[in-house]
Amino acid sequence: MTFLYHGLEARGAVWAEIFAARVPQLPFARWGHDPVDPAQVRWLAAWNAPAEFIAQFPNLEVLFSVGAGIDQLPLDALPPQVRVVRMVEQGIITGMAEYVAMACLALHRDLPFFITEQRAGRWTYRHTRLAAETRVGVMGLGELGKAALDMLKPLGFPLSGWSRSAHRIAGVACFAGADGFDAFLAQVDIAVCLLPLTPETRGILCRETFDKMPRGSAVVNAGRGGHLVADDLIAALDSGQLRAAMLDVTVPEPLPEGHPFYSHPAIFLTPHVAAETRHGSAGEVLADNVLRLLAGDPLLGEVDRTRGY
Ligand code: NAP
Ligand code: GLV
């Protein structure tokens, strides 16, 4: 039985050391580095391994995502009995909370506007508001959404959140389900998308959604590029329905040269760096999960494959 890792070499080297120390009884192989007998591979860790790659392991039992999301993996081609586990790791969680705080402050204080004015050589006054006057709503109240809200709380923003099932979070107005979506949107000045990408959430940041938000509001997308309809965003920004957007994820990645997101004055773009998997802490989380597997215990971050997250 082998645990196979497919991905960045530097991460693989760190994980090999962690596994040697924490799970020495289990052979840990790095794809492209160690010899691998495909029939022995029962567990695989990967970020976005293609379907043809995964298909060569007939005895695969568990697929671990190197990241918090799993949509980048070829799940449709995966036999139904294969368990899928996402990464629930403090480095990703803290990284995302920092990114969301930074994005909300930047949008709240009109940084895209002031940077445009600076670059044009203009000293342009615009009235500023305090955080208490800007309502931030987080779409997705999972590991990342809740951590982002915790980071935002002391900054003074009135907070709300939207999820599939009902949540209760102190200091956060919680909305749930399709029925709660319009009421959620009607009261957000900055909407932050931290949803998983599923058939239900694909394209959720679209014209219909933007039209339900207060005029002049802003959007942060740190979920997946597939959540956003690019043309609808540009149209909403150009019409003034939206004031600005901060995007960490796009379709495709990387964005091709000349894409309008690069140059639009109301868009801040970062290259999928909101929350990176930290080699050390993620390796420890993975080793913990493998020890749970060996003991027959429930896994941290196991995905409900019927639900898609
Ligand atoms: P998670 O713990 O699984 O939480 C997902 C949240 O989304 C839950 O609150 C869930 O509702 C909600 N949700 C799912 N489907 C929904 C729907 N149809 N309508 C309303 N709410 C829905 O996930 P996470 O760890 O927070 O990660 C979220 C996503 O962030 C990942 O899937 C990934 O795409 C993205 N991400 C991006 C980066 C980056 O660097 N940009 C890094 C890491 C992750 P319930 O609570 O009711 O189940
Ligand atoms: C990054 O996007 C992740 O899913 O961890």
* Tens-binned pLDDT, residue by residue, of the chain (309 aa): 999 999 999 999 999 999 999 999 999 999 999 999 999 999 999 999 999 999 999 999 999 999 999 999 999 999 999 999 999 999 999 999 999 999 999 999 999 999 999 999 999 999 999 999 999 999 999 999 999 999 999 999 999 999 999 999 999 999 999 999 999 999 999 999 999 999 999 999 999 999 999 999 999 999 999 999 999 999 999 999 999 999 999 999 999 999 999 999 999 999 999 999 999 999 999 999 999 999 999 999 999 999 999
- Is 69's C-beta closer than 6 angstroms to any atom of ligand 2? yes
Structure tokens at 246: 């901060």
Which amino acid would we find at residue 182? Answer: D
Please compute Rg for the chain using Cα positions. Answer: 21
What residues pair up with 218 in beta bridges, in sequence order? 190, 244
The reply to whether 246 and 283 lie within a common domain is no
pTM of the model: 0.97
Q: Which residue has the tokens 């990342």?
A: 144
- Which of the following is catalytic: 6, 224, 264, 279? 224
The reply to whether 216 and 143 lie within a common domain is yes
Give domain status of residue 203, yes or no.
Answer: yes
The reply to whether 114 and 259 lie within a common domain is yes
The reply to whether 22 and 103 lie within a common domain is no
Give domain status of residue 236, yes or no.
Answer: yes
**What gap in Å lies between CA 288 and CA 309, rounded to an integer?**
21
8 A C-beta contact, residue 220 and residue 106: no
- CA 194 to centroid of ligand 1, rounded, Å: 5
The reply to whether 42 and 113 lie within a common domain is no
- Structural domain tally of the chain? 2
